[in-house]
Structure formats: structure tokens, C-alpha cells
Amino acid sequence: MPPRLHYTQPATTWNEALPLGNGHLGGMVHGGRSEETIDLNESTLWSGFPREDVQYEARRSLKKVRGLLAEGQFATAQELIERNMLGKTPEAYQPLGTLKITRKSEASTEPYQRTLDLDSAVFTVQQGGGHREAFISHKDRVLAYHWTVEEGAPSDFWIALDTPHPHTLQAEKSGLLLKGQLPSRVVDNWMQDHPEPVLYEEGLGLQFCCLLEVQTDGESILSTPGGLLVKSARSITVLLTAVSNFQGWNTMPVWDDPEPEARCRSILQDALQHSWASLKERHIADHQELFGRVKLDLHVQESRDPLPTDLRLQDYKNGAEDPELEALYFQYGRYLLIACSRAGGQAANLQGLWNPHVMPPWFSDYTLNINTQMNYWMAEACNLSECHTPLFDLLEDLSQSGQRTAHIHYGTRGWTVHHNTDLWRMTTPTSGNASWAFWPMGGAWLSRHLWEHYLYTLDRDFLQQKALPVIAGASRFLLDWLTEQPDGTLGTCPSSSPENLFLDAQGNRCAVSSTTTMDLGILKDVLGFTLQACEILGLEQELQQDIRETLPRLPEFRTGSRGQVLEWEQEFEEAEPGHRHLSHLYGLFPADLFDAPLKEASKITLSERMQHGSGHTGWSAAWAANLFARLQDGHQAYAMLHKLLKNSTLPNLLDDHPPFQIDGNFGGTSAIAEMLLQSHGEVLHLLPALPENWPSGSVQGLKARGGITVNLRWEKGQLVAAELEASRPITLPVRYGHTLKDLTWTAGQKIQLDFAVLQVNA
């Protein structure tokens, strides 16, 4: 049976609604008995406009901060940073509004089921003889909704469109035209003390247009205040699209720009050329070309799929084993990435594409000290390289906007970005505590995704044209940001380990020191792969030389008195031993920098963190699952995955931080892929962290670095067969347990291995 989420009652809250999306337009569908509510989003709807955010005073304080840190005055240095070197909060991702379709009839008591089919990306409601379907087509750029009533008398339908923003609503012959204005600024109002936290200003900020068209077999469509009334219909079809006047991160929006409405009309006119069946067929074909690449079957004797998803999840939380639910969670992550990250759209933000709040938690922004990166960890391994492209576009923009921040704040070459960014490509520090606000390593970490795409695809054109300009700029910033330390090594100063704190000698809770372990990991990683990229392409000779001279001067990773990986330059006492962030293990995952002793130290570090309660947020549990998988500890990786599903998953299977954040979904999918296949270090590891809970199963279509597609089948905890197909000529060792075999592929060649035989021979 295709993977699906299904329920026997409508959604009563947003956290029970089901997500649809095409990378541009998003909808959370509630599926009421006599009405439909679809909360809408469009990926370019953000507060704000291009503005000046750099802190001209930052460089004035930099030398003094470094001097204070050299003297061990950590708290004083942090106070100076927070007074003179921070900036403003990012802008906020905004909801578009709500589409409501109400059937004017008595409430039905017929059996009810609503379903989201992940294989087709179609939402359905079946109620008695009535049937509803909805999808958001990437192919045709529309939300498409169809309602057919059961046998008997036709019904009247009321169709309404609304938004929380200032707007106008105009009824047309068979449609509705909504035009809205977005806030010029949304401020942090955590303390509920701001008199006007959402500001609308004439002539400033973005505007948007939302247009819908109704097709029906009804007697008539009447225009009424607030919507349309369809009289005496057996079926209705609603097509909807939306466009903003966003023209680029550094372009001031044109007020009352006619282009959004013109584009909406053009999109709908094209879509209306197709029948409902044609629109649906085109949508499904487009979705399945991506989604259908990977299949995961964790064999069970008796399927629990007939049980509604919410009840199934509740049973899981109460202790029931359900490998099929875990496989569904894996595929749901892939579905969500396809729905919220497609070429030409914006990258997946903190809530992917779906946000109902004008003042969303954490601005629903791009949080760059783990969350945005986690959104895309699984893109390559789960055979969705195309869905990575919006992140690459974001990186290209940041590499331009971040040049000014690097120069004015720090006097460096290259580019940098800190803890947050938004539609307007903010690269400056945010406001608040230095533990999150002052961290200029976000761009360097993000640039790893460009290198990963190259490793998986071996696409030299991509490496030269798209990746190298960005990663070279990130490396130039890192080279200039380095300062000589008292022991003669090069390090970063000031430096923080995102969102974590240590205690200084006086017991002060401090965030800032020199050369945290995460900084060190990013330095070694990014400078290292930048050098490799330059050597592969034979370019940037001067940069190559600078990196070759710098890498030997970076200090070694440090371990502490308990054998753990140190998080800071010294063995400070941790303010929160069970902290949710695991930044100092960057060198283990997502990078591949730790040798065997450091992997042992990582085990101690993870054990201590978990003993003190780490992994208590959804994304933190997902992060830990990936780290344990990289250590080839299937038992602990599974334990963290189980914790993610049990403690941090909403009825619609979205990740509950709390509140909802999508990174846990994506991180969980990444962890499952990492448990089944690893390809770092130029070795293919088959089933490296297979847990006992999945004794038999199969997976098809996972990707390995080097352009290899992998199919695996295992029984009773043992791999029995593998099929490995290369897209390019390559030679790689393939490992399963203690069995290691060197294989050479020609382009397009499939190699089949019977591991039951290989184990006997070994």
C-alpha cells in the first residue's frame, strides 16, 4: 500500500491539518465534515524590505574584545559584544490567508476518512458517497480543489477568501481577487510589551495578489459580500494561485505593482486549459518523478496501516512497536522536502513552507546554527538533489549580501552570515544574547551543502560555476578571521558554541571565548574542501597556497579529563550539561574529520549529554540520531529516532519542538538514511547502523557519494543482497561489517552482490 496519513475525523487544530505544497504555494488542509479550511502560504511573503542593518561600531570594539578574552575576562568581553557588536532581529515569514469552502447542508453522520497519499501528494476526504480531492501542482502553479457531493439533491456552496493583513477582496464573474499588504516590520514581542509589534506602512513592504476561479455544474455563481455562492451544484472545482511583488533581496518592492495580478491571471488561464483529470495527472507525474525514486519496506507480519495515523501514533507513544510507522516517517520527510523546496522557490525555512502566524515563533526564519542545515541533510542521500537547489540560490544571495557585513563588521575579505537570515538575506548578527547572536560561522557551515552536492553528483560544471565562487568566498572570510593564539596556532576570537554557555572562574554564565571546537571543525572542513575543489578545477592558485599554509597551523581537536570532546578551548564547567545543541561534534557529523580516538571521545560526549536529558527537542533528538548512526551505533540511533517520534511528533506527524518546526522531520529522515547507508571517507558502508528493531527489510534508491544508487535487502539482521548502480565511472571500496570489496563501475553499470555468499567466503 502506498505510504499515507489517514484519519477518521476532521482536523480540529492546525497541528492536525495536512500539508500540501509545490515549493511556492503551501496549504494546510483541515478536512471538515461540511466545510473545508485551507490555511495558505506563499514562499515570498515576508515582512520588511531591503534595509541597512550593518553595525558600523562593531570593528571599533573587536580589538578590545580580543584583548579581554586573552586576559580571561569572558563576561566583560561578552558584555562589550552585546553592547556594540550585535544588530537587529530578522524579518518574519507571513501567512497568506485562508480559503474556506462551506457546503450548505445538514451535517453528515456518514463514515468519514481524510487521507494524504504521499505517493501522489493528493489529499482526499471520503464521506458517505461524497468525495473531495486537493493538491498543489508544481507543474501548473495552482492549488486545485474538487468537491463532488453524494447521490441526491445538489447543494449550495459558499466560497470565502480571507487574510489577516490589510486587504481588498473583489468578487468576479466566477472568481475572487484578493490583494493584500504585508507588514513593513514585525518585532520580537516575547515579553508582550511592545505597543505595535506588527507595523504596516503605506508604500513600504511587500504586497501580494491571490486569485481563485470556480468551475461548477451548478445553476449559478453569485457574488456576495466576502465571497461567492454557488447554487445547486453536484460538484465544484476551485483553482487558486498567489504571487507577491518580491523582485529580489536587494530590490525595493514596487508599490501597487500590477505584475502580481497579471501573473496570477496568466497562471490560472493556463491551468484552466486543462481538465481536472489532466491537472491531477500532470501533478502526480511531476511529484512521482521525485518521490518514487526511493522505497523503504521494514517488513512486518501484520500491518498497522489500517489504523488511523493519530491512533497509531498514540499506540507508538504507549509502547507499541511499529516499524511501518518509522518507514512512513522517513517517506514523510521526503514528501515534505518535495512540497516545500522546489527549483525557483525559496529554501525551506524553520517551518518549511507552512506558517499560520503573523508573529510566528522565532520569526519562522532561517536559523543557521543547525536548523536550516538539518533541513537539507537528507536531500542528496534520499535522492532529491533537485530539492537542494533553493538552498544553493539562498547561498549565492548570502555570498553577495554577506560581503558587506564581513568588511564593515570585521575588516575581512569574503562573506559571512550569522545566526539568522530571511527573505532579505540578512547577514549581520541578530539582537539578544551573544550565545546565539554572535556567531559569524553560519555561511561557512552552509557552504558544506554545495560541496556535498558535488560529492554526490560529481558535476564539475556545478562545482566551478555555482559552488566555487561561494565556498571560496567563505574560505577567504575564514582565513582573514583567524588570529594568532598565544601558543602560535591560528584560531577564532571571539568565538562561541551556538546557544551554549560555560561557567567562568567567578561562576558567570558566559558564551564567548576563543576557538570553540565547532569553529575548529568548520575551519578544518571548509578550508579542506575548498582546497580540494580548487585543485580539482585547477583554479584559485593564490587561495590554494593560503589554505595550504594555514591548515597545519590550526590546533588539534581537544579532549577533556573524562575523555570527552571539549566544547570550548578550555575544560570549562558546563552551565547546562544536557544542552540541546551538539555543536562540538560537527567534525563527526555532518563533517568527516574525527579519527578513531575522537570517535571514542564522541561516544563519551553523547553518553553524558543524553544522561543529562539532551535530545529533549525534536531536532535535537534527530541530530543525536544522526551522530549515533555515524558512530555505527544502531541501538542508540534507533533510541533517539524513537524518542523523536514518541515525544516530539504531532498528530499530523510534523515535528514538535515544541512548537512546530520542520527540522525534526528532515533530521529524522536523514538519520534513517544514515543508518542504512553511509558513503563518507570514500567508502560505501552498507547497513552500518541497522537496529535490531528492523530485522528484515529492503530499501531502493538511496544515493551514495560518487553518484551511486543503492538497493539493499536484508533478512534476520543480515544483508543478503545489494544492487549498486553508478552514474559515472568510479572505483570505490564497499563495506558490509568486516567484508570489504573494491568495485569498479562504468557509467550506468549495475553491480549485484550476494552478501550471503560473501559472508561465507570471508
- Which tens digit of pLDDT belongs to each residue from 561-578? 999 999 999 999 999 999
Regarding beta strands 730-736 and 684-686, do their DSSP bridges make them parallel or antiparallel, or are they unpaired? parallel
Mean pLDDT of 468-476: 98
Distance CA 374, CA 449 (A): 10
Chain centroid to Cα 160, Å, comes to 32
Give the pLDDT of residue 83.
96
Give the pLDDT of residue 757.
58
Of 184-193, 291-300, 437-446, the poorest mean pLDDT is in: 184-193
Distance CA 451, CA 526 (A): 9
| Cα distances (angstroms) measured from residue 184 to each of 181, 414, 681 | 9, 30, 48
Residue type at position 724: L
- The three grid cell numbers given for residue 222, joined into one nine-digit string: 453569485
Give the pLDDT of residue 754.
85
Regarding beta strands 18-21 and 25-29, do their DSSP bridges make them parallel or antiparallel, or are they unpaired? antiparallel
Chain centroid to Cα 387, Å, comes to 10
Contacts of 104 (CB under 8 A, 6+ apart): 155, 156, 157, 158
Q: What is the pLDDT of residues 340-383, one digit of tens each?
A: 999 999 999 999 999 999 999 999 999 999 999 999 999 999 99
Residue 759 predicted with pLDDT over 60: no
Q: Mean pLDDT in the chain?
A: 96
- The closest of 272, 238, 276 to 157, measured between CA atoms, is 238
Q: Do 81 and 510 meet the contact criterion of CB atoms below 8 Å apart?
A: no
| Cα distances (angstroms) measured from residue 189 to each of 97, 358, 359, 429 | 22, 12, 8, 19
Split at pLDDT 50, 70, 90, the class of 2 is: confident
Helix (H) or strand (E) holding 268: helix 259-271
Distance CA 622, CA 310 (A): 21
Category of 207 on φ-ψ map: left (φ > 0), alpha (ψ -120 to 50) or beta: beta
Rounded to 5, what percent of the chain is helix, strand, coil? 35, 25, 40
Mean pLDDT of 324-344: 98
Q: 282: buried, middle or exposed (CB in 10 Å: 19+, 13-18, 0-12)?
A: middle
- The three grid cell numbers given for residue 181, joined into one nine-digit string: 499588504
Give the pLDDT of residue 393.
98
- The three grid cell numbers given for residue 52, joined into one nine-digit string: 541597512
Contacts of 380 (CB under 8 A, 6+ apart): 388, 452, 453, 455, 456, 457, 703, 705
- The three grid cell numbers given for residue 505, joined into one nine-digit string: 572562574
Regarding beta strands 509-510 and 490-492, do their DSSP bridges make them parallel or antiparallel, or are they unpaired? unpaired
Mean pLDDT of 657-681: 97
Residue 129 predicted with pLDDT over 90: no
Helix/strand/coil for 202: coil
Q: Residue 669: how many CB atoms within 10 A of its CB?
A: 28
Give the pLDDT of residue 107.
66
Mean pLDDT of 122-143: 96
Chain centroid to Cα 197, Å, comes to 27
HSE at residue 66, side-chain half, CA atoms within 13 A, is 16
Distance CA 759, CA 742 (A): 15
Residue 758 predicted with pLDDT over 60: no
Residue 337 predicted with pLDDT over 90: yes
Looking at per-residue confidence, does 218 or 483 come out higher? Answer: 483
Q: Do 101 and 436 meet the contact criterion of CB atoms below 8 Å apart?
A: no
Distance CA 563, CA 547 (A): 30
Share of residues in the chain with pLDDT > 70 (%): 99
Regarding beta strands 482-484 and 490-492, do their DSSP bridges make them parallel or antiparallel, or are they unpaired? antiparallel
Residue in this structure with the C-alpha cell 553518553, named with its chain if needed: 607
Split at pLDDT 50, 70, 90, the class of 418 is: very high
Split at pLDDT 50, 70, 90, the class of 760 is: very low
Split at pLDDT 50, 70, 90, the class of 109 is: confident
Residue 106 predicted with pLDDT over 80: no
Considering only the C-alpha atoms of the chain, give the largest distance between any 2 of them, rounded to a whole number of Å: 86
Give the pLDDT of residue 104.
87
| Cα distances (angstroms) measured from residue 121 to each of 22, 124, 389, 497 | 10, 10, 21, 40
Residue 56 predicted with pLDDT over 90: yes
Q: Do 119 and 218 meet the contact criterion of CB atoms below 8 Å apart?
A: no
Chain centroid to Cα 224, Å, comes to 41
Split at pLDDT 50, 70, 90, the class of 150 is: confident
| Cα distances (angstroms) measured from residue 405 to each of 62, 251, 399, 481, 722 | 14, 18, 10, 13, 49
Backbone angles phi, psi at 468, to 5 degrees: -60, -45
Burial 237-260 (b: 16+ CB within 10 A, else e): bbbbbbbbbbeebeeebeeebeeb
Residue in this structure with the C-alpha cell 570594539, named with its chain if needed: 61
Give the pLDDT of residue 762.
36
Residues in the chain, how many?
762
